Structure 1
Amino acid sequence: PRETVTSLVLVEDFSEARYISLLTTQGRIKRVELSEFASVRPSGIIAMNLDPGDELSWARTTSGDQELIVVTAGGLALRFDENAVRPMGRAAAGVWAIRLRPDDQVTGFDVVNPDGDLLVVTAKGYGKRTPLSQYAAKSRYTQGILTIDHTRLDETGPVITGRVVDPDDQISLITTGGIIIRMRVSDVNQMGR
């Protein structure tokens, strides 16, 4: 099969981050001890077995006691403790992170900063940020809670990304037409869920 790069993880010190959490677009998550990737051949090694049609799209390093947040195209977000996903070997397929609706898929994944905001952006350029304190931690493999008005998705387009941000961060949005828009996170309206 033809493969493309979908995520990059910067690891300066293998002793600081203990795990790498991997997530697919169909909602499978896997947590692997980072030491499993300390020696990688130039040709690469298997990080996760995938179901047909699924894609590994996100990789995040964690310390072992953090929370994760998953965002879907349909406007749902699920926050849960990373320990809800037991560490697995590289060949494992993982477990379900979020219970997706039949026509939904994962579009965002990040590590929670309790003082940060969740920034969601839709395909038609609508964006908002919401304090992460408004997303209570739930059990893994539940449906999550609304983060954007799902009745307006025809107007706004589906959610294309969800990222944890701080007000002093800057973001760059890139359109399919090659236009880059750069702005301060603080310029994006902060709203409730």
Structure 2
Amino acid sequence: MPDFSLELEHGGRVAGVDEVGCGPLAGPVVACAVVFGAGVPDDLTSTLDDSKALTARRREILAERLPSVPGIEIGLAAASVDEILHLNILRAAQLAMKRAVERLPSPPTLALVDGNRAPPLNVPVRTVVGGDAVSLSIAAASILAKVTRDRIMERLDMRWPGYGWARNAGYGTKAHREAIASQGCTPHHRRGFGTVRKQLALTLTTGEPA
């Protein structure tokens, strides 16, 4: 389980930063930055964890709880499918993280960033491999980013039915790939990604759905 030791070790206003959505074939990449300005309440120290280790229901409960924590600061941001295409997914994810940190009420004195690549932030950065299972601030950021992105994909699913985005969040499941092949691509598909790019190339040569 993650704890608050890295934040306490630094002693200042530490932001946990994480992104969600680098792998899907559709939708934006979403990032979140979280500062527990007054510490972490006891009920959260035993329940916050890597978003991937939690059920969807548990993530929703925690996402509803977190904004009411005294002293918490939350910055949420995204990078669009167009930015993913033009920048590549790594740089787009880093852009989303930079935007999330900039949306905090004031700059943190340190950003704990999940992973091993530091985004170009205007504050000191410490990368933490597997950080969402190490730091409570990063874990909170991972949960809020995941829930936010899932909600975005659920809304897009209502406008673009047939791809199963409310269930697969845009990831390349068998059903999603089959839908791309039969229905073509939407403006929310990542046209630089292999499965989507191949479908676009097929469309140009055969006239099948794009």
TM-score, normalised via structure 1 length = 0.26
Structure with greater helix share of residues: 2
Structure with greater strand share of residues: 1
Relative contact order higher in (CA < 8 Å, ≥ 6 apart): 2
| Rg comparison, structure with higher value | 2
